[in-house]
Structure 1
Amino acid sequence: MARLLIVGGFLAAIFWVYSIVDCAVQPSTRHRGVPKAAWVAIVVFIPVIGGILWFVIGRRRANDPGDAIRITGPDDDPTFLRTISKSEQDARIRRLEEELARLEDETDDGAAPDPRP
């Protein structure tokens, strides 16, 4: 029985140290919930339970949606905006403005707009 307690304590100490190191070396972007310093404090001051909390709640996985690249429209993508020239941008804006004006002139029932001001 005493041997089992010694082995369990040894394994708990190894897990505790591993949790502290893992929490400390992760970049701040991989921490969920509270800041990195708070996670380190939780893991240090609540040895085994803090480590379990770190691995279950606090550590963001590499495939976690929080790390996913945010999908943006082409008008918000700087790479796309660098590929088109100023004249292409102006022509695109002009086409969009013309389409918007045409849509504003149409009515819901398809009748011609009232020419009176």
Structure 2
Amino acid sequence: MLRYLPFLLVLALWIYAFIDCLNTPEEEVRGLPKVVWVLVILLFGEVLVGPVAWIAVGRARRGTAGAAPGRGRRGGWTAPDDNPEFLDSLRADNKQAEQLLQDREADLRRRENELRRRESGEDAT
């Protein structure tokens, strides 16, 4: 089984690069036209030159620079700590929680003062 592993790894890399190239929009392909990249991957897939060249040079980097807020470069999911809309919603939730806490603390102080007044009034009579 282990003797087939290198062949399977090469095949998996070749298939990944081929499908990735086909799914990448034309404006995100670097260096050569997309059709040429497909041919390079198909013709030089056995020796790994084509797939490795596509991964290293042909496709655009997967960063979020210039992306819309809350979206990745290709319109996909963005991590919550990079999403300004999510961070704003956390700030709003935090403000609501702080207000609720302040209201409860004020109510507790009022009840404690009322209880102290009752206890001091009962002791005086």
What TM-score does the superposition give when structure 2 sets the normalisation length? 0.47
- The structure number with the bigger radius of gyration is 2
Higher RCO (C-alpha under 8 Å, 6+ residues apart): 1
What TM-score does the superposition give when structure 1 sets the normalisation length? 0.50
